[in-house]
Amino acid sequence: MTASGERSETDVASLLLAWYDRHARALPWRAPPGEPPPAPYRVWLSEVMLQQTTVAAVKPYFAEFTRRWPTVEALADAPEEEVMAAWAGLGYYSRARNLVKCARAVAERGGFPDTEAGLRALPGIGDYTAAAIAAIAFGRRAVVVDANVERVVARLFAVEEALPGARKAIRAATGAIAPAARAGDFAQAMMDLGAGVCTAREPRCPLCPLAALCAGRRTGDPARFPRKAPKKAKPARTGTAWWIERDGHVWLVRRPGRGMLGGMRALPDDGWSARASGDGTPPVAGAWRPAGAVRHGFTHFDLELQVMVLEGGAPPPGEGEWWPLDALDAAGLPTLFAKAARRARAG
């Protein structure tokens, strides 16, 4: 600490990096502490996948993507429908569409730009992802604030303002302690500290390298930071998915490129959306039978989807394809429709 009792960049960085050198997580998209940085492609791919998704969920997807498309040029050449199918289950499917657009833009320009401004100009890359790539892949000093870093800094400085309003102050505080040297290691150390020590519900303060500097700990209740405004209740929507089966095949459609689950294969549905429930109108006449319901939470609403089954029926008007039931896993259905398919087959 400084003579005035304030935290300095040197204090925080030196303590945190020493801790990181001993305790860094071994992750497939990282380089060990102090080693040359990983390829920008791997950093970018992992950061896009990790948005609102856990490390455990991302690991197998990252392994499969880098096996199939080991370079950004290979991903740029991939058909979008193949990438979307490989992404199925990770959610937030606009990320996958932007992944292809960004890969093609990077391949066209001959590589990733090495500055935040250049990275932000690419499709699907916002402030956080640009800062993370700049720091981790290129060693640029950058202010990298994900949910874990947000929590660490809010506690370190005992930020009293509630989220989301506090984000400006948290970002400024993070910028004040981010070092120029080992910028990538520092960013990843902050992430690791939040993921494994400064956890949301029960911070493990005795294990924290920054405990002596932490204003939140000195309040006696560090877990109350960051403060959060009361959550608004999410609206509830209802809809229907239509399972049409014939000769060991099921009728699948391709959802429109824009909108919910855009571009993904899916079961036909009744037009539900984030703004309105579906109308329940079957796409074709027939002896439909109910198979139960599935529930799924989206960012802005919750959905209860009834599943209706028609055996031996004709396909509805419009484009679609008969997909073999014994290869349904290869269709790349998003999680919602994978749940509906399981319900139809069980019911």
Q: Given the DSSP bridges, would you call strands 289-297 and 249-254 parallel, antiparallel or unpaired?
A: unpaired
147: which 2 tokens? Answer: 């949910």
CA quadruple 71, 76, 77, 80: dihedral sign: positive
CA dist., res. 152 & res. 145, Å (int): 10
CA dist., res. 122 & res. 130, Å (int): 9
Which are the catalytic amino acids?
47
CA dist., res. 293 & res. 281, Å (int): 16
